[in-house]
Amino acid sequence: MKTIIGNWKLNKTPLEAKNDIKTIFDYSSEKKINSSVFIAPPHPYLGYLSDIYPQYSSQILSQNSQEFLKGAYTGHISPKMLHDMKVKGSLVGHSECRYMNTDEGISHTLSSLEEESLLCVLCIGESLEEKKSNQGLKKLTHQIKTNISHTPLKGKLMIAYEPIWAIGTGLTASLEEIQNTLEHISKVLSEKSLNVPLIYGGSVDENNISEICSLPKVDGVLVGGKSLDPQYFIKMIQKLL
């Protein structure tokens, strides 16, 4: 059973979000496909989509959240709000929002999500500079150690390996790079007695999804740009049948 997550980032009108999420989830529920399909719409649509499609709320993720449960934190979104909106959980630490979160803050966010019984998809990845100077694995080890420092998360954590240089660039890590990196991540996690699903993200499309998902360490994919057209995304889901 593979996981496929569509990250819509800052895209779609409310009407497009309403129609497209229905198209995707109607397809995946009718076809009884053998994979878990999630969509992470923009924040303003979370409560709305979850209200109009309660049958699909457990497949909706937030694109980010912060550690604070409530208070004077302008512009933030809390795990408690996600819980109250009945969505499934949140991406955390995506490279496009790490500028708002410290490593320490991310570790608190993981604990807060756990407290609210929400799924956390922790995104980690190295920059091109780090890759070129052979610092990539070190960076990932650091992110895992600092981002998962507070709670022994059980069953509510997934890790998305997303090399920053592969996001939205059309470049993907080679199959060998993905496999070796996920083996490294598993090893670091096992030192913390954690065994969690690992997914890959970074320019995944309908041409590379099958071979990426056939790698033994890959439990699924996180898809950005190619999740925006619902018919195209459905074609990607079909590759996992």
CB of 105 to ligand PGA, least distance (A): 20
Strand, coil or helix: what is 159? strand
User: Encoding tokens for residue 158?
Assistant: 């997934």
Q: Which is nearer to ligand PGA, 24 or 204 (CB)?
A: 204
Stretch of residues binding ligand PGA (CB under 6 A), selected from 69-77, 127-135, 200-208, 229-237: 200-208
Q: Which is nearer to ligand PGA, 188 or 209 (CB)?
A: 209
Alpha-helical runs (H) found in the chain: 14-30, 46-52, 79-84, 103-115, 128-132, 136-147, 175-191, 209-213, 230-238
Strand, coil or helix: what is 92? strand
Q: Catalytic site residue 108?
A: no
Per-residue buried b or exposed e for 192-202, using 16+ beta carbons within 10 Å of the residue's own CB: eebebbbbbbb
Give, as one character, the DSSP assignment of residue 60.
B
Considering only residues 38 to 97 of the shown chain, the ones binding ligand PGA according to CB under 6 A are none
CB of 193 to ligand PGA, least distance (A): 28
Q: Which is nearer to ligand PGA, 33 or 204 (CB)?
A: 204
97: number of CA atoms within 13 Å, CB side?
22
User: Encoding tokens for residue 222?
Assistant: 């996180």
Q: Which is nearer to ligand PGA, 49 or 222 (CB)?
A: 222
- When asked if residue 162 is in the footprint of ligand PGA (CB under 6 A), the reply is yes
Stretch of residues binding ligand PGA (CB under 6 A), selected from 53-61, 177-185, 198-206, 212-220: 198-206
Q: Which of 43, 76, 94, 129 is catalytic?
A: 94
What is d(CA 5, CA 140) in angstroms, rounded to the nearest whole number? 21
Report the residue from 202, 213, 237, 239 that binds ligand PGA according to the rule CB under 6 A. 202
Interface size with ligand PGA, residues (CB under 6 A) = 13
Report the residue from 3, 7, 59, 101 that binds ligand PGA according to the rule CB under 6 A. 7
Cβ contact 195:158 at 8 Å: no
Pairing of strands 2-7, 157-161: unpaired
- Report the Cα 191 to chain-centroid distance in Å: 23
- When asked if residue 163 is in the footprint of ligand PGA (CB under 6 A), the reply is no
Instruction: State whether the Cα torsion 134-137-138-142 is positive or negative.
Output: positive
Q: Catalytic site residue 94?
A: yes
Report the residue from 203, 212, 233, 237 that binds ligand PGA according to the rule CB under 6 A. 203
- When asked if residue 222 is in the footprint of ligand PGA (CB under 6 A), the reply is yes
* Cα–Cα distances in angstroms (integers) from residue 149 to residues 36, 104, 109, in the given order: 27, 8, 11
Report the residue from 204, 212, 234, 237 that binds ligand PGA according to the rule CB under 6 A. 204
Give me the residues that bind ligand PGA (CB under 6 A), please.
7, 162, 167-168, 201-204, 222-226
Question: Which are the catalytic amino acids?
Answer: 94, 162
